[in-house]
Amino acid sequence: MADGLDFSIIGVDSLIGKLYEVSNDVRRRGGRAALRKAGMIIVNKAKENVAPLDDPHTPRSIKDNIALRWNGREFKQNGNIAFRIGVLHGAVLETHPDFGKNAPTPHWRLLEFGTEKMAARPFMRPAMDSSLNEVLYTFTSEYEKSLDRAIRRASKRSQPS
């Protein structure tokens, strides 16, 4: 049911040039921090989109369950840095006795995808689509900043006292 997003980035030649100057560990660390900041833009936009759909009279809140999580499986299998953005507790439709702040909100998928009797009112996909340019800009600028810091630190260490 989930589909990926593939795209091509043009005009980041300086960033690619800097990637060759630093070690693999530094690349991953800076990339992970930059990707987290970029992903939080989508998370915040999704929370804005779901706020009018969420019933304020119920204790369960979809907005509180939207989260960004590190994708360890992708990293272990392929070595790619990746985060997952979604609603916590998955799409479990069974009743749950918890009514706390982060209680499961299984009805999120009914809103996102709709049913045969109710039209879909998506909030996750439009969050990604509407903020894609901002996400790409944030990722490239933050990643470039972290690489610049790593290069400066490495050059300071390599200079004799």
Sorted by sequence, the CB contacts under 8 Å of residue 22 that are 6+ apart come out as 30, 147, 150, 151, 154
Indicate the pLDDT class of residue 119, thresholds 50, 70 and 90.
very high
Task: Please report the DSSP string for 69-119 in residue order.
Answer: EE-HHHHHHH----EEEEETTTT--S--S--STT---TTHHHHHH--SSS-
2 pLDDT exceeds 60?
A: no
Average pLDDT over residues 102-118: 83
In terms of residues, how long is the chain? 161
pLDDT at 109: 83
Rounded to two decimals, the pTM is 0.77
Indicate the pLDDT class of residue 9, thresholds 50, 70 and 90.
low
Strands 66-70 and 83-87: antiparallel
Residue range 35-92, pLDDT digits in tens: 999 999 999 999 999 989 887 777 778 888 889 999 889 888 988 888 999 888 776 6
pLDDT at 4: 65
**Do 148 and 18 contact (CB within 8 A), yes or no?**
yes
